[in-house]
Amino acid sequence: MIEIESATKVFGTGEAAFRALNAVNVTIAENEFFTLLGPSGCGKTTLLRLIAGFEPPTMGAIKLAGDDITRLRPAERPVNTVFQNYALFPHMSVAGNIAFGLEMLGKPKDEVDSTVAEMLRLVKMEELKDRRTSEISGGQQQRVALARALAPHPKVLLLDEPLSALDLKLRKEMQIELKRLQHETGITFVFVTHDQEEALTMSDRIAVMNGGEILQIGNPKEIYERPSARFVANFIGESNFLDATLKGGQVTLAAGGTFDVSVPDGVADGAVSVLLRPEHVAARAGAAQDGEIAATVDTVVYSGEATTLHLSLPTGEKVKAKIGNAPLGDGSLPKEGDSAALTVATGAITVLRD
């Protein structure tokens, strides 16, 4: 559907030149919910603006359904945007905003009216259709922005952190609503967020970006469970990074214990860094026995559904273990200062490329 071929964007010239995107390659499939995830300033908005046509790429090409659209103006692309600040027209009503794109496409009046009515129903805004956009709440504005962008039925919808201004509860509702809309309309969504949980729950696939580059593309499970780079692992979820030695498809932790692992491309036998998610570590009080790793408890942090133990290994490495809380607590968790024995779940260890 969308192919982005080694897109590079350089802002400024000479000394002040800044490379906001560096040879980005992505292919986004039809009807996919594709998320760009990354820290502030990594180039997410820049990539969206390239797809929408607000900026030309410095190098590279953008294709839509096989056609090169790199040089087309925004008005010539069947792509619509939900802006981060919504950018609703303040001098038009809710219905007027939604009708705008259809009117610009020169659709006949009755078709405009029926599509607007359908969109209002879709985003549940029928009651407020005559209000000014300054007279509706943030969540309602967001729905209008969505309806306005969906009304011309674009091939691709770009959403730039559309939920970031909403409070947590509304945000959760809108996440579900967005997923529903995407299913109902069959439109390809390119969604930008820097909220990892939002990315994991909503996306078909996620591209994790940093410093103008895409580090990894994969479905949420792959991204969370098999991050290829330390940055990706660190950005998504909680992580323990441990030193280990890789030899013939097995790693041996510096702190003890040997595990079967899958080895990513381009990683040779020798010293490696591995990822171990805190929820994949179990801990009990007492001395370590065979297959267990010895540790001492530094602190215990209770956080409602789980308790996190901060532990020190004999090698000096620090490890977190996140343990789900049993009803009323079973009292078997080690206390601060105790020795503990750690067990690592099978398949929990991921070898990182860097």
Partner 1 sequence: MAENSPLKTKARGYSVKTLPGFSVVALFTLVALYAPIVILVVYSFNQGTSLAVWEGFSLRWYQQAAANEAVQDAALRSLILAISAASVATVAATMAALATTRTRHFPGRTMIYALINQPLMVPEIVTAVALLIVFAAIKVWTGHTSMIYLIVAHTAFCVPFAYLPIRARLETMDNSLEAAAQDLYASRWLTFRRVTLPLMWPGIVAGLMLAFVISLDDVVITEFVKSAGQETLPTYMLGQLRRVVTPEVNAISTVILLAGAILVSLFFLLTNRRV
**Which residue ranges make up the site for Mg ion (CB under 5 A)?**
45
Residue 159 touches ligand ATP, criterion: CB under 6 A: no
DSSP state of 236: S
By CB under 8 A, name the one of 89, 109, 271, 332 that touches partner 1.
Answer: 89
Residue 91 touches partner 1, criterion: CB under 8 A: yes
Cα torsion 128, 130, 131, 133: sign:
positive
Residue 54 CB partners (closer than 8 Å, separation 6+): 74
Residue 75 touches partner 1, criterion: CB under 8 A: yes
Residue 346 touches ligand ATP, criterion: CB under 6 A: no
Quick one: which segment of 57-65, 74-82, 202-210, 341-349 binds partner 1 (CB under 8 A)?
A: 74-82
Tell me how far apart the alpha carbons of residues 188 and 336 are, in angstroms, rounded to a whole number.
Answer: 50
Residue 43 touches ligand ATP, criterion: CB under 6 A: yes
By CB under 8 A, name the one of 85, 114, 137, 332 that touches partner 1.
Answer: 85
Instruction: Kindly state the smallest distance separating residue 89's Cβ from partner 1, in Å.
Output: 6
Residue 224 touches partner 1, criterion: CB under 8 A: no
**Any bridge partners for residue 98, and if so which?**
none
Residue 54 touches partner 1, criterion: CB under 8 A: yes
Q: Which of 74, 286 has the CB closer to Mg ion?
A: 74
Tell me how far apart the alpha carbons of residues 56 and 74 are, in angstroms, rounded to a whole number.
Answer: 10
Long-range contacts at 10-19 (CB < 8 A, ≥ 24 apart) = 10/58, 19/212
Residue 56 touches ligand ATP, criterion: CB under 6 A: no
**Any bridge partners for residue 205, and if so which?**
34
Torsions phi, psi for 142 (to 5 deg): -65, -40
**Stretch (H or E) spanning 11:** strand 2-11
Q: Which residues bind partner 1 (CB under 8 A)?
A: 52, 54, 73-75, 79-81, 83, 85, 87-91, 100-101, 104-105, 134, 148-149, 152
Binding residues for ligand ATP, rule: CB under 6 A, are 11-12, 18, 20, 38, 40-46, 194
